Chain A
Amino acid sequence: MADGHRAAYLAFDRFPSSKGSAVHIRHMAAELFDRYGGGLLCVLGGGGLPAYQREGAVEIVRFDAVVPNLLDRAEAFSAWAAEQLAPHRDTLELCHVRDPWGALPALDTGATLVYEANGLPSVELPYAWPLVAPSTLGKLRELERHCLSRAAAVVVPSYVIQRAVLDRGAAPDRVHLVPNGADPPPAGLPRPDTAPDRYLIYVGALQPWQGVDVLLRAFARLADLTDLALVVCSSVSANRARPLRRLAERLGVADRVRWQHMLPHAEVAAWLAHAELSVAPLTATPRNLEQGCSPIKVWESMAAGTAVVASDLPVIREVLGEHGRLVPPDRPAELARAIRVLLEYPDVRRELGERARRHVETGFTWRHARGRLAVVYETVAGR
């Protein structure tokens, strides 16, 4: 690689990982590197991931310094990323980022910036860091404004977050919608060996705004369905499930809940495909209402042909449309009732799942998402 890279993708995220964000990075970065004949991927390491990899024309570098404070760590990542980009200043044409800490060093190179806003730290961080002061959030918003207003293109996965980035200074004619997607798994995936006969499934992380507690409470109301299990495919470690496990015990359902932690992405598809229903119980928090998301778990459930029961929120309606069952968020009794009805009507369930799968196949596979991103790259290259 004597000539330097023409493209770089930066993410303050561990990659790869079992989280939805990693699936997203995988496909977006692949499109970038395909178009630019390779490139540099700057991500977080740790967990035994190598600090350096060379895969054909792609170089992967991982930040693995141990910096306990999150803000210090984010800034350390920024400075590190600036050093990774420095040798490529003369050749870099486009940097694709996901957060302000990737955007800052990318802007410094002078390359075209594509800012993919899946979430906003000023909205997201208070959930994990409840002591954050309003004045600090104000500074984060300023930082977001600084980066978003300088981006040649801002890519958003939903209309909900589109409003949030416009509110933070992104130019309206530069914001592009690229919904997430999923690839239908091959037909006839074998049932996982340890799968219960009949189960509901939840796939994803376990932050409070995901609403897994609501699902557990709903599940407790289905205690009469003694053959029904709940499988939680958690993208995070068992440590993080402790409060929810205690809740399951208190609710008396612990023996019917199966916890799977950090399953490789390829294995989750089989669990999804053989479930009776997939549940996405997101809560009606500002995080979900104002910032939004494009939940990969919903896309992947649809792609697997498994009927989805999900919270009736704008972000979910965007994804699921008419192809699933919407229920009011944060209402265990209503969630339980919707699940019970669908369990009683296997034909309706099958029909919903089939329709959802066709919907994904015809417009929302990762190939479709990559095509939409390709248009964005073409647009900014022609500017």
Chain B
Amino acid sequence: MTPCTVTTGFFTLGKCGVMAVAGCPACQRPLCAGHITESGLCPECAAARNQVGHPAAAAAYRRRMHRHRTAGEYQDAGWYAGFDAYDRSAFDPGAGAQQDYLDDGDDALVDS
């Protein structure tokens, strides 16, 4: 039997493991009956194509597709207290007390 490899769980994550009945046409991962979305894709691929969730999400998705994923365009006037290039420079990867910021997600704003 081929087990379904969709990630499941809230705090402790694991693979679904139920017997697969199909593969995701986009990413080829084996899928159980419960994890095939309406479009036949796995939940992640379906979400990436905006084929799950609320219909209005489609509009947001189209808007998103028209945008360039550069940091500057995420700034929405009025939202932010006007961080300028000088403010930002202190947060470049090389300016951190630790250089390896992406290794373990230890870049949160606060910690317990």
Contacts and interface: CB of A to CB of B under 8 A. Distances in A.
Interface of A: 1-2, 4, 11-14, 16-17, 19-24, 26, 30, 44, 46-47, 49-55, 58-61, 65-76, 78-80, 82-83, 86-89, 98-99, 101, 104, 108, 118-121, 124-125, 127-133, 135-136, 139-140, 142-143, 146, 157, 180, 205, 207-208, 236-237, 239-240, 262, 264-266, 293-296
Given A54-B52, A87-B53, A237-B103, A69 B92 contact: yes
A121 B109 contact: yes
A301 to B, nearest CB: 14
B8 interface: yes
A73 B92 CA distance: 10
B66 interface: no
24 contacts: A4-B56, A16-B13, A21-B110, A26-B10, A30-B10, A50-B6, A65-B69, A69-B91, A71-B87, A76-B74, A78-B79, A89-B56, A124-B111, A127-B97, A130-B97, A132-B90, A132-B91, A139-B82, A146-B81, A205-B106, A240-B103, A240-B104, A293-B111, A295-B112
A47 B101 CA distance: 12
Contacts of A140: 81
B110 A129 contact: no
Given A55-B9, A71-B88, A264-B12, A19 B79 contact: no
Interface centre among B48, B71, B95, B103 (most CB of A within 10 A): B71
Contact of B86 (A14, A108, A133, A142): A133
A23 B102 CA distance: 21
Instruction: Decide if the interface of chain A is mainly helix, strand, loop or mixed.
Output: mixed
Contact of B47 (A46, A52, A65, A86): A52
Contacts of B106: 19, 205, 236-237, 240
Given A69-B91, A129-B91, A236-B106, A19 B60 contact: no
A209 to B, nearest CB: 9
A187 to B, nearest CB: 21
B108 A12 contact: yes
B25 interface: no
B91 A16 contact: no
A99 B111 CA distance: 11
B7 interface: yes
B88 A236 contact: no
A45 B52 CA distance: 19
A104 B79 contact: yes
